[in-house]
Chains A and B, each alone.
Chain A
């Protein structure tokens, strides 16, 4: 008799709902009349993400005790569920921002299908419990993102971005796969928990194969999280890809990569903690240094935000590096305002881009704050939140990450973080200065498009939601930290 695994359909629900939405959107791409295609596909995808949010919240409530399901291949716990909620919220907002993006109508329904499929892959990825599901789901959402970057072939740089991401991303995937093979070779196990057990019983924690494997797995996840020195694709891809895609990638991909990185490190490699805490701390310092210094000299706002997202990866990796429950909580909390800030920033850039029809530089943001008061105030808040100033969730996130490092006895890491924050103020406040303190007439940009700016209610709603999360995560800090604490308690620290 062949052993059949019992399938916990409920644990799979978010991924299945999104996969269903993706398949439906793909069918709508060819079966629905051309005129109605966009609205039907967008609505299907939005419903898919809404369903994903509901299922993930339900999963969060119903999975107090984390467990492995479906032949121990997938985690059903709060750590995964909370990450799925973040991904689905970002996905829903992406649908709203994509709505009025000027994209070629030929592939519009396919674009939404890919968005839902990427979300499904991410929902699977955060639950991965062995090296096989880890790699499978990584490729699943990566392939969707490669195509999404290149989807607008008429946009200058879009194809280039897609190709760059494909090649560098495949390199990262290959590193992860090779690392997985080495880890499997050293321990003979695929499951994260079993790898840790085999390492403990076999006394393998200094085994060269295992350590090299761990380093490669870390590098592979570093590529996806765009942490330095694995960041080189980030500015080009973020700049070239259609802005809604950039917004989705910067928020969702980074979230899942960091969430999974911490899970893999503490579940599969607790014996090697002495090694990887230092390695991750090194990556964090490199990300902070490269992200912040390179952002200082950027004129293109999308590139600047790309480097800013690298530096954010550095701040979050400080929390990962500690490998303590406090670090886990700090990471999960930080991800909530971070996704809102990163997504919101790119959404505002998308709005300005549509107004001007050219790439947005710091110079042609001039006067934006006065022309579009709501978007201007939102962008100001996102920039202040990125810098980690009070009254935004970014402040609490950074504070929490620093306190995790301090608690771990790494005061030097806190000092590096604070210096990086001070440096970052220059370019974040530069955006605010450009929006409010430089008159548009001076730069002769006023009448580029002519007429009143497009209304874009959906984009404004998405920016508004990001605004509320950024602002609200400062004031509702206690409930959110409780959520993060429950989520982190399902990891074996």
Chain B
């Protein structure tokens, strides 16, 4: 029983160790001024800069693309569990999934021809 959970435990351990080690390492190895200068307040490598957000206007394409991305992302999310048990579901599972993909394919043809993918 407990043995079944061992891989999960190891996975959880990794999930903890990796980010912790990154944060600790950045404190240990970083060379930064001891005084609070302006450079210290800047974001480290990547990150969000502090201060008020500038008002920017985004083109609608961002929203459209993001939405469409989620749609097809979900398709892939469903493919993973199917791949794991496909040999047990056999042709039934394949046919069901082909049906699902076919519905999304209709949507794909629609958005493509409608010009939603043009930037």
Q: Is the Cβ of A30 less than 8 Å from the Cβ of B92? A: no
Asked whether A448 is an interface residue with its Cβ less than 8 Å from the other chain, the reply is: no
Kindly list 5 other residue pairs between chains A and B, CB separation below 8 angstroms, not including A4-B89, A27-B106, A31-B109.
Answer: A2-B88, A4-B92, A26-B106, A26-B110, A30-B113
Asked whether B54 is an interface residue with its Cβ less than 8 Å from the other chain, the reply is: no
Q: Is the Cβ of A1 less than 8 Å from the Cβ of B88? A: yes
Q: Is the Cβ of A30 less than 8 Å from the Cβ of B109? A: yes
Asked whether B6 is an interface residue with its Cβ less than 8 Å from the other chain, the reply is: no
Asked whether B17 is an interface residue with its Cβ less than 8 Å from the other chain, the reply is: no
Q: Which residues from A are CB-within-8-Å of B106?
A: 23, 26-27
Q: Which residues from B are CB-within-8-Å of A247?
A: none
Bound form: Cα–Cα A31–B108 in Å: 13
Question: Top 3 nearest A-B pairs by Cβ distance?
Answer: A30-B113, A23-B106, A2-B88
Q: Is the Cβ of A30 less than 8 Å from the Cβ of B89? A: no
Asked whether A29 is an interface residue with its Cβ less than 8 Å from the other chain, the reply is: yes
CB distance from A257 to the nearest CB of B (A): 26
Bound form: Cα–Cα A27–B107 in Å: 8
Asked whether B24 is an interface residue with its Cβ less than 8 Å from the other chain, the reply is: no
Q: Which residues of A204-224 are within 8 A (CB) of B? A: none
What are 13 residue pairs bridging A and B, where the CB atoms are less than 8 Å apart in the complex?
A: A1-B88, A2-B85, A2-B88, A2-B89, A4-B89, A23-B106, A26-B107, A26-B110, A27-B106, A29-B110, A29-B114, A30-B109, A30-B113
Q: What residue of chain B has the Cβ atom nearest to residue A31's Cβ?
A: B113
CB distance from A184 to the nearest CB of B (A): 24
Q: Which residues from A are CB-within-8-Å of B114?
A: 29-30
CB distance from A285 to the nearest CB of B (A): 44
Bound form: Cα–Cα A1–B88 in Å: 6
Q: Which residues from A are CB-within-8-Å of B92?
A: 4
Q: Which residues from B are CB-within-8-Å of A2?
A: 85, 88-89
Asked whether B103 is an interface residue with its Cβ less than 8 Å from the other chain, the reply is: yes
Interface string of A1-37 (1 = CB under 8 A from B): 1101000000000000000000100110111000000
Q: What residue of chain B has the Cβ atom nearest to residue A23's Cβ?
A: B106
Q: Which residues from B are CB-within-8-Å of A1?
A: 88
Q: Which residues of B71-109 are within 8 A (CB) of A? A: 85, 88-89, 92, 103, 106-107, 109
Q: What residue of chain B has the Cβ atom nearest to residue A113's Cβ?
A: B110
Q: Which residues from B are CB-within-8-Å of A27?
A: 106, 109-110
CB distance from A340 to the nearest CB of B (A): 34
Q: What residue of chain A has the Cβ atom nearest to residue B85's Cβ?
A: A2
Q: Which residues from B are CB-within-8-Å of A4?
A: 89, 92
Q: Which residues from B are CB-within-8-Å of A29?
A: 110, 114
CB distance from B57 to the nearest CB of A (A): 22
CB distance from A139 to the nearest CB of B (A): 16
Bound form: Cα–Cα A30–B108 in Å: 11
Q: Is the Cβ of B88 less than 8 Å from the Cβ of A23? A: no
Bound form: Cα–Cα A4–B96 in Å: 11
Q: Is the Cβ of A30 less than 8 Å from the Cβ of B88? A: no
Q: What residue of chain B has the Cβ atom nearest to residue A22's Cβ?
A: B106
Q: What residue of chain A has the Cβ atom nearest to residue B112's Cβ?
A: A30
Bound form: Cα–Cα A31–B110 in Å: 9
